[in-house]
Structure 1
């Protein structure tokens, strides 16, 4: 029996035992097992079938992910130099293994043989989908290439994997490195009390006096939004906007990595016979071609632009009223917050006092329990950090159906942002159903001064969003590993359940039950809620245009941009801004250098999917508006036709089965206050 916790495949990961030195022995052993299995299956004289060929590969894939998944997770949430080294070393080995696997013509031919056999018709829809996905995957993995091109294709895959990881590390290192001390509290006028307290505690933890600010969001954002000290806002903005660029340490500069990544992706696509990487990326998505995506974004931009221009005109007028002769990038958040407070007579800070962590979580779970007919309760499991926790989801009969980990606070060594990831995927085995387990990770402010953690309404929305992804993974009813939960779901449909869940954060009957003022315990007053709703679409035009800007930038970079030309990614972004932006950041802003979604996070030529899926989610939610916000009937339909189906059928089929028709733009524009 192995003592290596990464080679334990029953039950939950042993996070309390995993050490960096466990990684290489476990991964090397599994890769060796994997290569032996591939050889055995590839050379077997037996006619390939689901049982003797596909199932063993599925079983091994699941086993490998059970070992590697916790390593990747810990690398993201409790990063140390030792763990990072082990992660990167083994990431290279795994990339090599998967490259060989995806190019093995012997395996490819066996999948094709099953697809062409009489057995194929007898398989379940999920099994057929897996084989179809595999056949496509081999084509896109270079299995049909001649030997020399296969070798180059493999080199590219390894380099892309290495460079993507380095891109993320540079941002994390730069973010962790930046610290700015303010000695005098008088220089922090306007900053909310809890942000001030957190800054004082951060300084104390470093053995310093005064107030310490970092580029982690819970520290950075309150300064940008509330602090009257314009010079401090500029200092932080400049540091944040130039992370991992030529303005930071040379070894953290992502500029050369961007150029390399774009060249490699283009070469990869061209080896496979595509004109550009965007075409390759869309081969596995709902959208058919780069032009279709661009047309979609252009249509949305035309509808949103007039609202965005109105937003900016109002903001500039208000900035001059505040005495800013020229509004700078580091003033935008500050002026916006002041304008919002004047227009709607409330601040984010005031609202935040009504959202203590426990109340928010209870409210979220109540929504999920009501519409999906499940129950959520906290339970015990080995954890990677004292701030993490673990929960069980059960059905009406109290039978467990899924589990999830929750890790909500920002800290050093944890990468920024919020995400859901798979820990264990639901599937049927000889001993029964293996239940799904999810990771839900955010970067909110931790509790300070003995008070509970308080969440802004935006953070509440983020939590609901990530939980939507989690539900997609956890409420699946698919028994086959490769299309269970979010596996096999088209990338531009993955955001449907997450964005759908956000809508509940704007419903009085939901929100009032998840609020209790941190001091008085009082529920959120209806008058304050009404102001929040009135302010919901405050600057919606500006925000929509900004998302379109990022999406067009991404699509152009990966379709029409020539990385060998004298132009840079930054030049392309400036061209896109000429066309759609209503607010221009300073010329020294280096947004691309920290745009890890598209350079390190799988969203290359796919960032548009946020907007694409928003159309789906707004339209899906409109059924709840028709049948009742907490309608169990609508919830049951959404659970059965969307969440339960996982990747076992095309996302459009699932949407039509749920809604009875194809999606329309109208609900999204109405929700954003942009309906004509």
Structure 2
């Protein structure tokens, strides 16, 4: 239905997203935007030949690639599938940076196609995932002002932790950004504006149902943790939450309580995805006005939203960046599109 209604073919889009070009494009985009240098560090040992290590530096000249600035952190890109590896996409903090000078270390773990086996063409949703997880990575690496580990990096309230990742998804939908690196693997043609617009219209399909699905997961995780674990009947509970919140009927034998992975780690706080999305939409409004690649706005974002880590309440971080309290307006407008 999506393809018929919008004329969008995801296989056509893949031709513009070979993995190596996407990786370099993401790094170059944020190097330019935030005045950073991503320096490949072949002298740092990794746990597998496919894993790449990088040093993150601040650009002293304001130009990408000058390689002379202060080292801000170290990160690893573990981006391709292999046996016995984590099967999804995530950013894993390995060491929190502190005001004492201790450097942050993090790893980005994904399962994107490996260029050793061909063109390694990516779906656009995987490109979006790359931008999302890179948002977590920048948050972890740029928040080193705290004196205590539990206030550094991504140690912010659960209500906010997904905002710095979800805002960076916006860059994956901008033709201005994609045109920097999305070129046809055979012809070298820059991705057309018309194709990016098709992608955007297609992504709107089923938005309401998907939002309801996300709210269902939020309700499931939240209300499950209100129940007495010694007494809860997981099957009956699942039937109850499906009936109240899901836009879809429950599939018999789904055992959702076993395959809902975010119950481990996110516990009762899955709601953060929609709440953080609301904040991310509001934050992005400043970029939308100034320009998606506006360096002054990006620097303000890095200084007020990312760098403090958990030193300030997130409501105050948003106030500092926007000059006002957060609002639901941008989220409502997005839902109504």
Tell me if 1:663 matches 2:334.
no
Q: CA deviation at 1:573?
A: 2.3
Q: Deviations over 1:559-616 (max 9, x none)?
A: 1x34444x52232222122122222242121222122211x22x11111011111111
Q: TM-score, normalised by structure 1?
A: 0.47
- Give the Cα–Cα distance (whole angstroms) in 2 for the partners of residues 367 and 521 of structure 1: 19
1:427 corresponds, among 94, 98, 110, to 98
* Matching residue of 1:414: 85
Q: Runs in 1 of length 4+ with deviation above 6 angstroms?
A: none
Any residues of structure 2 matched to 1:246-645 within 5 Å, and which?
Answer: 339-380=1-42, 381-397=44-60, 398-399=68-69, 400-429=71-100, 433-447=101-115, 450-482=117-149, 483-487=151-155, 489-559=156-226, 561-565=227-231, 568-598=233-263, 600-601=264-265, 603-645=266-308
Structure 2 residue runs of 5 or longer lacking an equivalent are: 61-67
| Greater relative contact order structure (CA < 8 Å, 6+ sep) | 2
Q: Deviations over 1:398-439 (max 9, x none)?
A: 22222210011222201221111112221244xxx2221211
Structure 1 residue runs of 5 or longer lacking an equivalent are: 1-338
- Give the Cα–Cα distance (whole angstroms) in 1 for the partners of residues 138 and 110 of structure 2: 16
Structure 1 residues 657 and 428 mapped into 2: Cα distance closer, same or farther (>3 Å)?
A: closer
Aligned residues: 327
SS at match of 1:415: coil
- Give the Cα–Cα distance (whole angstroms) in 1 for the partners of residues 233 and 121 of structure 2: 42
- Give the Cα–Cα distance (whole angstroms) in 1 for the partners of residues 123 and 39 of structure 2: 24
Any residues of structure 2 matched to 1:78-227 within 5 Å, and which?
Answer: none
Structure 1 residues 562 and 427 mapped into 2: Cα distance closer, same or farther (>3 Å)?
A: closer
Q: Deviations over 1:89-141 (max 9, x none)?
A: xxxxxxxxxxxxxxxxxxxxxxxxxxxxxxxxxxxxxxxxxxxxxxxxxxxxx
SS at match of 1:671: helix
Q: CA deviation at 1:479?
A: 4.4
Q: TM-score, normalised by structure 2?
A: 0.92
- Give the Cα–Cα distance (whole angstroms) in 1 for the partners of residues 50 and 305 of structure 2: 32
Looking at secondary structure, tell me which structure has more helix per residue: 1
Q: CA deviation at 1:521?
A: 2.3
Tell me if 1:653 matches 2:316.
yes
- Give the Cα–Cα distance (whole angstroms) in 2 for the partners of residues 671 and 471 of structure 1: 25
